[in-house]
Chain A
Amino acid sequence: MSLAIRAEGLVKHYGETKALDGVDLEVPVGKVVGVLGPNGAGKTTAVRVLATLLRPDAGHATVGGHDVVKDPVRVRSLIGLTGQYASVDEDLSGTENLVLIARLLDHSRAGARARAAELLEQFELTEAAGRPARTYSGGMRRRLDLAASLVGNPAVLYLDEPTTGLDPHARNEVWRVVRKLVADGATVLLTTQYLEEADQLADTITVFDHGRVVAEGRADELKRRVGGQTLQVRPTSLADLDAVQRILGDLTGMRPTRDDDTGLLTAAVSDPVLLSTLVRKLDEAGITADELALRLPSLDEVFLALTGRKAEEGSLV
């Protein structure tokens, strides 16, 4: 498996703060790796190092086999950068922005115009092509950002929080575009605060916290790592809550968590067969339930467990 990006032991300090504290990262060619983490986890710093915008204090990284510190110009010829910090010029129109970038990438005048028109078409911005970028909606802006980063047909694409601050509709637009790129075989390093985004777009997810990698794997592997499955029961009558709690406790051998407001009982289970046993026992006791479910923990729970306080209480990692 050939690697598009390989980073080893990246460290970056800002005064006292360790933005990166020994990060290893590998992105295989043709894959999408999602870097997931809360604000300040070091995601953007990692992207800036890999995009040659920042020198790491320690560690090294290569993109397409070229060292980001020793050979930044080679690296820059391979990458496209989109995101929070790399922006288009708001005064210029969509066409002008793309033509400028194409000219900077040594396209001829005519070639630059053609490339701009092609990308505007591809990103459904043809109608807005002549308008200043500042008049674009949030979703259109991000699509233009994306188009700008693709002018030079980069081998590796960095998407730094591509949908932060967008409404759900605009976010879906961006996702659709990214999915298409991925289907065409793009290699992508994606950073995001949204689990759903990583889940939707990435082949593998790397979870950052305080400048360190705290977990890695496919979305379903991460979900499994947090624990088995969860059994949830909500009896129709609140009066049955005690009885159901007892039954659930006997079955799982653990004390279920109980929410008196919603009447919901939750217990972790290791064996999915318990669900049918529970149904039978409730039936024998003559208790009906409004809600009865067996599910994997949500990625939000995974996220909290991996990066938040829950992890420190010892649930895993």
Chain B
Amino acid sequence: MSAVALDKGLQHGLSLAWRGILKIRKNPEQLADVTIAPIVFLVMFTYLFGGALASSTDDYLQMLVPGIMVMNILQASMTAGVQLNTDVSKGVFDRFRSMPIARSAPLVGAVLADVVRYLMCVVVLLVVATIMGYRVQTGPVELVIAIALVLAFGLCFCWASVFVGMLLKTPGAVQGMMFVLIMPLTFGSNVFVGTSTMPGWLRAWADISPVSLLADALRGLLNGGPVAGPLAGSVVWMVAAVAVFFPLATLAYRKRV
């Protein structure tokens, strides 16, 4: 018998998730790293451009917050790759691998801890937005669904980060690469401005980008409006992200560790 039983595997994954959560508690600045940029953009865009882009800063804030949630979750999901890469380069992984635990347990643990990280990021963002005057127009049920949707989105796209994390040599390189990927993805969307004034090629992309579709779905859920269309589009993207990056990430993981 060479495999570790499934229930044991899950228990090992939970133990390693506990480790991940301990690390969040010890290094709250890591959480700040991924939350601060979205908050800076939130404040800056609202007060600098809000008046010019929408009729008032209040109107702009209502449109911006759901989009910034998407940006936030993308930033937070890049931590998974950085963290795994750090573990591999520091030798923490070798210790785990020399123990009789499921090979996937460290991966499961990292991803489970990520859910907690995502949730904290989203809560911090919503608190700041509320202080600035943002109000959920619908109800608590829609809010819970919106948060669940954002977490699911993060969980689907974190495999891209795990893949890059296993591919590149150093944690710094992973961070840099993810930043380069996430920034254009965030700005080439309807998060900050409507797509109608964009040149055709950019608009074509921005209208179907996963960031735009999820932002629209969240706007529908939180501010009221159509949900079904953008939600369906987001789900297609999420399934596609998992279908492409999950196998790539696990393959790279198996090669690396």
Assembled-state Cα–Cα distance A84/B92 (Å): 11
Chain B contact residues: helix, strand, loop or mixed: helix
- Asked if B91 is at the interface of the complex by the 8 Å CB criterion, the answer is yes
Residue among A71, A74, A76 making CB contact with B98, cutoff 8 Å: A76
Residue among B1, B11, B16, B91 making CB contact with A86, cutoff 8 Å: B91
Query: Which chain B residues border A79 with CB–CB below 8 Å?
Result: 98
- Asked if B99 is at the interface of the complex by the 8 Å CB criterion, the answer is yes
Assembled-state Cα–Cα distance A71/B19 (Å): 28
- Asked if A106 is at the interface of the complex by the 8 Å CB criterion, the answer is yes
Assembled-state Cα–Cα distance A272/B97 (Å): 54
Stretch from A89-97, A210-218, A303-311 that touches the partner: A89-97
Residue among B2, B3, B15, B97 making CB contact with A100, cutoff 8 Å: B15
Assembled-state Cα–Cα distance A17/B91 (Å): 23
Query: Which chain A residues border B12 with CB–CB below 8 Å?
Result: 104
Q: How many residues of B contact A (CB 8 A)?
A: 27
Query: Which chain B residues border A104 with CB–CB below 8 Å?
Result: 12, 15-16, 96, 99, 101, 105
Query: Which chain B residues border A86 with CB–CB below 8 Å?
Result: 91, 94-95, 98
A49-95, CB < 8 A from B: 51-53, 70-74, 76-77, 79, 81, 84-92
Q: How many residues of A contact B (CB 8 A)?
A: 33
Assembled-state Cα–Cα distance A86/B2 (Å): 22
- Asked if A103 is at the interface of the complex by the 8 Å CB criterion, the answer is yes
Query: Which chain B residues border A132 with CB–CB below 8 Å?
Result: 26
- Asked if A289 is at the interface of the complex by the 8 Å CB criterion, the answer is no
- Are A106 and B8 in contact, with the CB atoms below 8 A? yes
Query: Which chain A residues border B94 with CB–CB below 8 Å?
Result: 48, 51, 53, 81, 85-87
B96 to A, closest residue via Cβ = A104
* 6 A-B contact pairs sorted by A residue (CB < 8 Å): A76-B99, A86-B91, A87-B94, A90-B90, A103-B18, A104-B15
